[in-house]
Structure formats: structure tokens, C-alpha cells
């Protein structure tokens, strides 16, 4: 059989880059890759080109820039980023913009026949009678996909393990590193090594008929905020600690004000609303990392704090 021609949107990003990595591992006889990026001259784009990925300059805001590439593809990986427009006050605008980007891609796929779409989605939540806008946005997109009848596999990526690298920290006089994650210690966070998302995307594309129309949950661990700091202490040899946030403070206006959307989403962790199918998810693929393994192998923790010798 000829190779499956896969167009990866955002190929130089975290999700698209992971998809490219794992599809490349199968070799050109299985997958022929092209990738859309705004800057084909970037270091990352050039590195992918050297590995055999056809780099295409384009933009999700401009369907004409990817029309020809999509026409030539058999399968498409699409991730859209609601957060890129969010300023703390404009969730409806973000939903509108993300929806237009995704639905434009879906409509072009539909125009050229039943392309195989793998869409990076999220589970929808109702919290205290409110919908979480950035997850609900994915629901609207999914409804459009199903309305046009496009063959699709949904990959639901949970909280990125790499998010821990973005939290501010404070070093105390005794050397303790306080991880400023503004959640109570017992809050539990389902997580995925986003560097490995391509494992589940490859699973879907290897056996399309088995997965078409289904959702694949991508989750490999679930840790409390306290346990996250304990694992960081174990792998680095440094002492990490939490902010020791109380539930009372978390539910205050002071906690909500800096980022209302993320605060609403955080109730999912504080109230422990997710029972992730970790065993099933990890059982679908080989070599996925739990949080401790991610710390040891992904490189981010080593670069930021160094690992214990």
C-alpha cells in the first residue's frame, strides 16, 4: 500500500511536533508527512524538513494558504488554541476565533471528500452551573464536525505535565523551592506528557477503521499538587513545597481575578471531577511516561532544576 499522506497543522508546536516525531518513526513507507507553519525558516521547521517533512507556509486564519496541501492529503491532524487570544475578559471572542479556524479546516476537508481527521479535543464540564468556555469551544467544533459528517478521531489531551515548568517559584532562605500553583494541596490533576501525544495519534492512523468516530483519552497519571512537589524533590534532590493554599482562599475573588477562565477550570481539579482511564490509555500504546518518568526523560525538569546525580 502507498504511504498515508498526513498534513499536520501547527507542526512546529508541542502537539504537532509530537505527532510528526512518532509518525516519522514508522518510516516513509508508512506515512508521508507535510506540516503547516507560519515560518518555514525557523530552526524547528528546518529540522523537520531535514527529517523528510514537507514544510508548507500557511496560517489557520487563511484557508487559501493550506487548501492545496489539504487537497493532496489523506489524513489531517488539527489542534487549535483557544488560549492564544485570551486576555482574561473575552472568552466569547476566543470561542468564536477558535471555532472559525477549526471549522474552516473541517469545511475544506469536507470539500475534498472524506479526509481522515484527527482532532485534538477536550472533555466538556459543567462546574457550579457554568460551562468552561475553552472546553465548551471544542464541543461546538465537534458538533460542526459531526454535522458535516467528516470521519474523525478525537484525541482528548489532559493537563500537560510540562505546565509545571511554567509556574513561578520562590526560593526560601533554607533552599526550599515553593511551586506557586494556586490550588489546595489535595487538588488532583490528571496529566499527559504532551511530548508523547503522537503515540495516540499514530495509534488512530495505523488502524483508522477501528478508531473512526471514537474518542481516545490521552492521560498517563493523576497527582495531587502536594505529590507533584514530592516527585520533583525526589528526582532533583532539591526540596520543593506547595503554597499551602486553603480552599477558602481558592474560592475568593482574589484567587479568581487574575484568570477567571483558568480558575473556573481549576474546580475540575479541586473538586476531583475527573476519573481518568489511566490504565486503559497507557495500555493502548507502548512507552508512555507517568509524571516521574516525564521528569527524568523529557528534559524540561533537568534543564530548569537539574536532576539528582
| Secondary structure, 3-state, the chain | CCCEEEEEECCCCHHHHHHHHHHHHCCCCCEEEEEEECCCCCHHHHHHHHCCCEEEECECCEHHHCHHHHHHCCEEEECCCHHHHCCCCCHHHHHHHHHHHHHHHHHHHHHCCCCEEEEEECCCCEECCEECHHHHHHHHHHHHHHHHCCCEEEEEECEEHHHHHHCCEEECCCCCEEECCCCECCCEEEEECHHHHHHHHHHHHHCHHHHCCCEEEECCEEEEHHHHHHHHHHHHCCCEECCCECHHHHCCHHHHCCCHHHHHHHHHHHCCCCCCCHHHHHHHCCCCCCHHHHHHHCCHHHHHHCCCC
Q: What per-residue confidence (pLDDT) applies to 66?
A: 97
pTM beyond 0.85, yes or no: yes
Q: How far is CA 305 from CA 196, 230, 292, 296, in A?
A: 22, 14, 14, 11
pLDDT at 231: 98
The tens-digit pLDDT sequence of the chain (309 residues) is 899 999 999 999 999 999 999 999 999 999 999 999 999 999 999 999 999 999 999 999 999 999 999 999 999 999 999 999 999 899 999 999 999 999 999 999 999 997 999 999 998 888 878 888 999 999 999 999 999 999 999 999 999 999 999 999 999 999 999 999 999 999 999 999 999 999 999 999 999 999 999 999 999 999 999 999 999 999 999 999 999 999 999 999 999 999 998 899 999 999 998 899 999 999 999 999 999 999 999 999 999 999 998
pLDDT given at position 309: 82
| 3-state SS assignment for residue 164 | helix
Structural domains of the chain ordered from first start:
1-150 (3.40.50.720)
Cβ atoms 96, 140 nearer than 8 A: no
For residue 1, what pLDDT is reported?
A: 83
Q: Cell numbers 509524571 correspond to what residue?
A: 291
Q: How far apart are CA 161 and CA 228, in angstroms?
A: 10
Amino acid at each position: 500500500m502507498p504511504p498515508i499522506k498526513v498534513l499536520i497543522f501547527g507542526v512546529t508546536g508541542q502537539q504537532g511536533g509530537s505527532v510528526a516525531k512518532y509518525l516519522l518513526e514508522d518510516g516513509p513507507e508508512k506515512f508521508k508527512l507535510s506540516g503547516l507553519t507560519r515560518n518555514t525558516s525557523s530552526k524547528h521547521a528546518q529540522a523537520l524538513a531535514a527529517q523528510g517533512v514537507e514544510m508548507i507556509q500557511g496560517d489557520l486564519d487563511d484557508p487559501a494558504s493550506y487548501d492545496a496541501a489539504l487537497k493532496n492529503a489523506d489524513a489531517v491532524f488539527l489542534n487549535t488554541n483557544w488560549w492564544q487570544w485570551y486576555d482574561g475578559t473575552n472568552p466569547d471572542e476566543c470561542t468564536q476565533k477558535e471555532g472559525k479556524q477549526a471549522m474552516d479546516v473541517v469545511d475544506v476537508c469536507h470539500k475534498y471528500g472524506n479526509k481522515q481527521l484527527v482532532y485534538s479535543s477536550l472533555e466538556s464540564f459543567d462546574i457550579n452551573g457554568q460551562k468552561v468556555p475553552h472546553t465548551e469551544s471544542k464541543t461546538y467544533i465537534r458538533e460542526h464536525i459531526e454535522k458535516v459528517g467528516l470521519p474523525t478521531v478525537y484525541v482528548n489531551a489532559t493537563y500537560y505535565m510540562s505546565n509545571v515548568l511554567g509556574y513561578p517559584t520562590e526560593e526560601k532562605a533554607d533552599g526550599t523551592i515553593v511551586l506557586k500553583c494556586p490550588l489546595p494541596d489535595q487538588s488532583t490533576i490528571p496529566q499527559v506528557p504532551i511530548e508523547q501525544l503522537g503515540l495516540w495519534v499514530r495509534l488512530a492512523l495505523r488502524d483508522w477503521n477501528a478508531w473512526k468516530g471514537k474518542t481516545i483519552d490521552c492521560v498517563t497519571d493523576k497527582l495531587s499538587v502536594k505529590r507533584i512537589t514530592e516527585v520533583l524533590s525526589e528526582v532533583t534532590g532539591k526540596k520543593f513545597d506547595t503554597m499551602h493554599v486553603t480552599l477558602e482562599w481558592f474560592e475568593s475573588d482574589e484567587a479568581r481575578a487574575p484568570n477567571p477562565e483558568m480558575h473556573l477550570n481549576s474546580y475540575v481539579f479541586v473538586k476531583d471531577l475527573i476519573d481518568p482511564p489511566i490504565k486503559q490509555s497507557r495500555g493502548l500504546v507502548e512507552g508512555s511516561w507517568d509524571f516521574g518518568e516525564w521528569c527524568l526523560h523529557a528534559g524540561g525538569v533537568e534543564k530548569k532544576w537539574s536532576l539528582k546525580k
